Amino acid sequence: MRTKPLLTAALLERGRQRFDIFCSPCHGANGDGNGIIVERGMPRPTSYHAERLRNAEDQHLFDVISNGYGAMYSYGARVPPRDRWAIVSYIRALQLSRHASIDDVPAGQRGKLVEQP
């Protein structure tokens, strides 16, 4: 499946689960590049919150998971395509959680946000 599936809560949950298993040892639970491998002396991977990766196409992230990139090896044989897309969706959720603005909240939901003193 090279076509990105429809974004659903179930897809994001699957992406979180797969991310925790396959990605967090290097990229860290929050995608900062602070995974356990860094503590073991391996090079720190780029943070998913870096502007370059926030601006990258979804297909690029899918392809990197599939084929590897730099020191990262390929997960194409280990992670099925649908799960790769789920991981990409979860990475986007991580990025949005840190870089969202009020304009990203649907107008009808903005009233639920209250300013804390």
pLDDT (tens digit, 0 to 9) for every residue of the chain, 117 residues total?
A: 568 899 999 999 999 999 999 999 999 999 999 999 999 999 999 999 999 999 999 999 999 999 999 989 999 999 999 999 999 999 999 999 998 888 888 888 878 776 655
The answer to whether residue 19 sits within a structural domain is yes
The region, left, alpha or beta by phi > 0 then psi within -120 to 50, assigned to residue 73 is beta
The answer to whether residue 35 sits within a structural domain is yes
Q: Whole-model pTM above 0.85?
A: yes
The answer to whether residue 2 sits within a structural domain is no
Which residues constitute the domain of residue 63? 15-100
Burial degree of 89 (CB within 10 A; 0-12, 13-18, 19+): buried
Write the single-letter amino acid at 4. Answer: K
